[in-house]
Amino acid sequence: MDDATVLAYELTWPEYDRRMRDGRTPLIVPIGALEQHGHHMPMHVDVLLPNEFAQRVARRTGALVAQPFTYGYKSHPKSGGGNHLPGTTSLDGATLVNALKDVIKEFARHGVRNIALMNGHFENSWFIIEGVDIALRELRWDGVRDVKIVVLSYWDFVNDETIEKLYPEGFTGWDLEHGGVLETSLMLVLFPHLVWMDKAIGHPPASFPPYDVYPVRPEWVPASGTLSSPKNATREKGEILLQVCTDGIVRALNEEFADPPN
């Protein structure tokens, strides 16, 4: 059973040790969030999608997948609807940074030398980088200098050609795609039983001023919680996205992890 899984946490500890201690097996860490995704999808979309991409990439690269981070940094009104919406359950930035730092250092202690952080929640981005920076600094203090970390978000692998296919009427940008066509289409392919298109609410893309106000102003955010309409999402678009993103991530990790650790 151990050899049949790409999930590191399903292995026994001796098998995990055998596969990881020489540093040659990459480890992929999905990093998500618990955040509302409108009336038509569940709140753990940002965990499901990076975890699924991680597993698909692992099967093609020889990597293993670590247990996901299931909570992330606070939802922002302009990219996730906002932390004020019910169900969204978030971490302070320092909490995420320290948790990620600790986990990276633990993996390094196990022998892991190539780590990919698979982000599925836009607002995590800078806190992931901070956690990586501090972890690598503290590892250097301990004399560990051969850990390499790749940080990526799966949507960044969607190329212009694919955007034209998916958004023939125009693309409003990734910041307004929260609960929109991209996430909904992927969910229709991967987890169709968790998508209720009859409850999807269509509306124009959200419009925000070029500044932020705190405390946040909930009236800026569409009442649905989504920032653009998911109505044009389809399984066919999800299949295109799944292939383009998976292929792109595989190419990136094969290139970055081609050489064994020094």
For residue range 33-46, what is the model confidence (pLDDT) as tens digits? 999 999 999 999 99
pLDDT at residue 135 is higher than 80: yes
Above pLDDT 70, what percent of the chain? 98
Hey, what domains does the chain have and what are their CATH numbers? Answer: 2-206+216-256 (3.40.50.10310)
What is the per-residue pLDDT for 180? 96
Mean of the per-residue pLDDT values of the chain: 96
- Contact predicate 68/256, CB 8 Å: no
Ordered alpha helix ranges (H), the chain: 13-20, 45-61, 77-80, 93-110, 125-141, 160-166, 181-190, 235-256
Confidence class for position 1, pLDDT limits 50, 70, 90: very low
b/e burial code for range 80-94 (CB count within 10 A of at least 16 → b): bbbbebeebbbbebe
The band of 247, judged by pLDDT with boundaries at 50, 70 and 90, is very high
Return the pLDDT at 262: 64
Determine the average pLDDT of the residues in 38-57. 98
DSSP for 219-235 reads GGS-TTS-SS--TT--H
The string of DSSP codes covering 106-152 is HHHHHT--EEEEEE--GGGHHHHHHHHHHHHHHHHHTT----EEEEE
Mean pLDDT, rounded, for 127-149: 98
Q: Which residues are catalytic?
A: 35, 37, 46, 121, 123, 178, 183
3 confidence band (pLDDT: 50, 70, 90): low
Q: What is the pLDDT of residues 172-196, one digit of tens each?
A: 899 899 999 999 999 999 999 999 9
145 contacts 195 by C-beta, under 8 angstroms: no
Q: What pTM, to 2 d.p., does this model score? A: 0.96
pLDDT of residue 2: 52
Q: Above 90 in pLDDT, residue 259?
A: no
Of 86 and 4, more confident: 86
